[in-house]
Chains A and B, each alone.
Chain A
Amino acid sequence: MIFLPPRWNIKRGLNGDFVFKGMTVLFAFSILGILLLMTVAMYRQSLPSLAKTGWSFITAKEWDPVEGNFGALPYIHGSLLSSLLSLALATPLSIATALFITEVTNRRLGSMIAALVELLAAIPSVIYGLWGILVMAPWLQRTVEPFLNDHFGSLPFFSGAPYGVSMLAAVLILMIMIVPIITSITKEVLLAVPDSQREAAIALGATRWEMIRMAVLPYGRSGILGAVILGLGRAIGETMAVTMVIGNTPKISWSLLDPGYTMPSVIANEFAEASSDLHAAALMEIGLILLVITLVINIMARLLLWSVTRTAGGKA
């Protein structure tokens, strides 16, 4: 008699579990493989630029393809400024919305609002861009920017002429685009807070707001941080809408009223008509930097979110 392990049971053929597991492992690794191949390809394509400019690529301010000067600092500056500022605006708004959905309204209204918020995330970014350039930018130019300039013009952040298309427009568009993602993940994190935590606070004589501050937010803090970082990743990578409203001027300015430029925007704008191999390589190198930044941000966010769902599952 030959004993076969159940996996090789002739009658049942290959164990379904085994096949399934094999396939999922295969897919998981092929995704990793694609990522790796992409990184390597981008690295190789950007080698000419890496060799020629070295570290000065990320510290030089001059970007002039005709003269062969490639300094990416204006784009890095524009990307970081626009995404961090939009994050600073979107975070409180998103947390407040998520708290409203989970802690304040009843379930019916809450899920309606949640669905609406998620709908915002489904709007293609070119539509945001169109709205931004046709509606928001003119409004900024006519009302908001003159107001800011009149009252706070002495600050470096609000100096200069109102153009409409500006860093401010990009920040606001990005804020609107990342609020849905931060809100919906924060909502899930808050829903994972066990009721026993809320009850503990209430039983100590906490009001609803005190309960949120004492039990709900601290319990979900690393998950909320994960949501915020995920929003940052989204903001840094956003291309279309930002390209349409930011003005695309490679100049380092701290004024929100001035136009700016971001890493994804310059790639989108210049790649099709790269004037030389070095120009193409320089754009590739910007892409490489962007890829690394977004990968790091996303991995950080996932790790944080993973730690939350793991503890919530383990302790609840």
Chain B
Amino acid sequence: MSEVTMDAKITLEQLNVHFGTNHAVKDVTMTMATNSVSAIIGPSGCGKSTVLRSINRMHDLTPSARVSGAILLDGENIYCKECDPVTMRRRVGMVFQKPNPFPAMSIYDNVVAGYKLNGRARRSEMDGIVEQSLQRVSLWDEVKDRLHVNAMQLSGGQQQRLCIARTIAVCPEVILMDEPCSALDPISTLKVEELIDELKEKYTIVIVTHNMQQAARVSDTTAFFYLGELIEMGDTKKIFTNPEKKQTEDYITGRFG
């Protein structure tokens, strides 16, 4: 057993993920601290998304996927037999690569979609949650006059911020983001990055990104993956200026990948 530091929010212990015979994630052990931003970088196909999706048990939906090892959330293994993935996912939210608002719903209904699952949904409470969540993602001013129009009328960047608002509206403790800016223009990207910076006051964030500058800008720690293995993890500044492993250096300087 690895040591668990005091403020570890998420700990991966010898995580292995197989898709059929494909060993996609190999023996990964790492820790993400509370209220920090951890970036996961690495070349395409190295298993970044697979690691991220195992943190909220998204692989439960994929019949061919097999996960072994442990992932501790506040010290408790989310893969234990008695654990209910549904209640766990309310604590661990996820933002996807492509904005995926619910197209049949209004902006308002999208924001409270997850909140309504709790059953008790009072109108006045929901109004407050919608305003707060949209304020946090700085979308409120842009949409406050048309909360009840269809969410698909928003631009791609606005849709992605709406998806983040939808995620934080259920008050998770952790937010997983899988290349949240890859479908966005530079200005929307900047907005999302600023947002990540603000969000880390309250949330623990894990972000997968292909964009090295983005990882350097937004994250506190960075993990570099290669062919399903965790090659190196550490302080972002250190990884980008003085990495220990040759492979990491080659990747961040663009010599391969």
Residues on A lying within 8 angstroms of B by beta carbon are 106-107, 194-207, 210, 214-215, 218-219, 221, 311, 315
Stretch at the interface among B17-25, B72-80, B93-101: B93-101
B93: chain A residues within 8 A (beta carbon): 203-204
Residues on B lying within 8 angstroms of A by beta carbon are 56, 58, 61, 63, 86-87, 89-90, 93-94, 96, 98, 100-105, 113-114, 117, 163, 166-167, 170
> Given A199-B96, A202-B61, do A207 and B86 touch, yes or no (CB 8 Å)?
yes
Q: Which residue of the partner chain A has the closest CB to B93?
A: A203
**B102 touching A214, Cβ below 8 Å:** yes
CA distance A199 to B103 in the complex (A): 14
**A206 touching B86, Cβ below 8 Å:** yes
A107: chain B residues within 8 A (beta carbon): 63
Query: From residue A14, how far is it (CB to closest CB) to chain B in Å?
Result: 44
**B63 touching A205, Cβ below 8 Å:** no
Query: From residue A293, how far is it (CB to closest CB) to chain B in Å?
Result: 29
Q: Which residue of the partner chain A has the closest CB to B61?
A: A202
> Given A199-B61, A200-B163, A214-B113, do A205 and B100 touch, yes or no (CB 8 Å)?
no
**B103 touching A204, Cβ below 8 Å:** no
A201: chain B residues within 8 A (beta carbon): 102, 113
Q: Which residue of the partner chain A has the closest CB to B104?
A: A218
**B61 touching A204, Cβ below 8 Å:** no
**A219 touching B86, Cβ below 8 Å:** no
> Given A199-B58, A218-B105, A315-B103, do A204 and B98 touch, yes or no (CB 8 Å)?
no
**B114 touching A204, Cβ below 8 Å:** yes
**A205 touching B114, Cβ below 8 Å:** yes
**A204 touching B170, Cβ below 8 Å:** yes
> Max chain B CB contacts within 10 Å: which of A198, A201, A202?
A202
Q: Which residue of the partner chain A has the closest CB to B169?
A: A204
> Given A106-B63, A199-B58, do A205 and B102 touch, yes or no (CB 8 Å)?
no
User: Which 9 residue pairs spanning A and B have beta carbons closest together?
Assistant: A204-B114, A218-B104, A205-B90, A203-B94, A196-B100, A205-B89, A200-B100, A207-B86, A205-B86
**B113 touching A219, Cβ below 8 Å:** no
Q: What are 6 residue pairs bridging A and B, where the CB atoms are less than 8 Å apart in the complex?
A: A196-B98, A198-B61, A203-B58, A203-B93, A210-B117, A219-B104
> Given A198-B61, A214-B113, do A204 and B100 touch, yes or no (CB 8 Å)?
no
**B58 touching A206, Cβ below 8 Å:** no
> Given A197-B100, A218-B105, do A202 and B117 touch, yes or no (CB 8 Å)?
no
**B117 touching A205, Cβ below 8 Å:** yes
CA distance A207 to B100 in the complex (A): 18
CA distance A205 to B103 in the complex (A): 19
**B56 touching A203, Cβ below 8 Å:** yes
- Picked from A106, A204, A311, the residue with its CB within 8 Å of the CB of B113 is A204
B58: chain A residues within 8 A (beta carbon): 199, 202-203
**A199 touching B100, Cβ below 8 Å:** yes
CA distance A196 to B183 in the complex (A): 14
A203: chain B residues within 8 A (beta carbon): 56, 58, 89, 93-94, 96, 167
B89: chain A residues within 8 A (beta carbon): 202-205
CA distance A210 to B119 in the complex (A): 11
Q: Which residue of the partner chain B has the closest CB to A197?
A: B100
A218: chain B residues within 8 A (beta carbon): 102-105
CA distance A203 to B58 in the complex (A): 8
- A203-B93, A218-B102 known, 16 other contacts, Cβ within 8 Å: A196-B96, A196-B100, A197-B100, A199-B61, A200-B100, A200-B102, A201-B102, A203-B56, A203-B58, A204-B93, A204-B113, A205-B114, A214-B102, A214-B117, A215-B102, A315-B103
CA distance A205 to B173 in the complex (A): 13
**A219 touching B102, Cβ below 8 Å:** yes
Q: Which residue of the partner chain B has the closest CB to A221?
A: B104
Query: From residue B207, how far is it (CB to closest CB) to chain A in Å?
Result: 15
A205: chain B residues within 8 A (beta carbon): 86-87, 89-90, 114, 117, 170
> Max chain B CB contacts within 10 Å: which of A195, A201, A203, A214?
A203
Q: Which residue of the partner chain B has the closest CB to A207?
A: B86
CA distance A315 to B150 in the complex (A): 15
A199: chain B residues within 8 A (beta carbon): 58, 61, 94, 96, 100
B98: chain A residues within 8 A (beta carbon): 196
CA distance A107 to B170 in the complex (A): 32
Q: Which residue of the partner chain A has the closest CB to B56?
A: A203
> Max chain A CB contacts within 10 Å: which of B56, B98, B114?
B114
Query: From residue A104, how far is it (CB to closest CB) to chain B in Å?
Result: 13
Query: From residue B197, how far is it (CB to closest CB) to chain A in Å?
Result: 22
